[in-house]
Copies of this chain bind each other. A is one copy, B any other.
């Protein structure tokens, strides 16, 4: 059996968005249980010249909606990068997920061979086939920002585990658990 590029792209992206929303929920609950303000995590970062949590979530969203737009030709909604609270970040994720889920599977016909160009910085353009773009850029870049959001929260002491990141559902547990 071969696999559709739509399935690879949409499964990877929708699972990652939902898991990211769940990580933020756990972080919010942790902060509130400790009497802290979860919005204080929004500006947290791992190093001075790295993006803060808000920037990581914005790039998760941009990579997700940009991938679906470039693979299908359907325009993605613009988003202003003005999130300053957990509620804002959750709304951004929900809006991104709604766009990804709104694009019909048939819109991905021909996506693997489609010519895709991606701006990389102010003066550089990258060019790929749709399949190379998905495997070399979208999936690693999307995961980069989800994992770095996770790592920022872990570094701040939020008790997350790998299973929160992977979001493995109970239907996958065959024994134990």
Residue from the list B121, B136, B177 in contact with A166, Cβ < 8 A? B136
A11 to B139, CA, bound (A): 11
* A105 interfacial contact with B, CB 8 Å: no
Residue from the list B3, B11, B151, B168 in contact with A3, Cβ < 8 A? B3
A174 B112 Cβ-Cβ under 8 A: no
Q: So how many copies of this chain end up in the complex?
A: 2
* A102 interfacial contact with B, CB 8 Å: no
* A148 interfacial contact with B, CB 8 Å: yes
B176 A121 Cβ-Cβ under 8 A: yes
Chain B nearest CB from A26 CB (Å) reads 15
Chain B nearest CB from A163 CB (Å) reads 8
Given the known inter-chain contacts A140-B166, A148-B147, please indicate yes or no for A154 contacting B2, CB distance below 8 A: no
* A156 and chain B: residue at smallest CB distance: B47
Question: What chain B residues lie within 8 Å of A113 (beta carbons)?
Answer: 1
Residue from the list B3, B5, B125 in contact with A5, Cβ < 8 A? B3
Chain B nearest CB from A49 CB (Å) reads 9
* A37 interfacial contact with B, CB 8 Å: no
Question: What chain B residues lie within 8 Å of A11 (beta carbons)?
Answer: 135-136
A176 to B125, CA, bound (A): 6
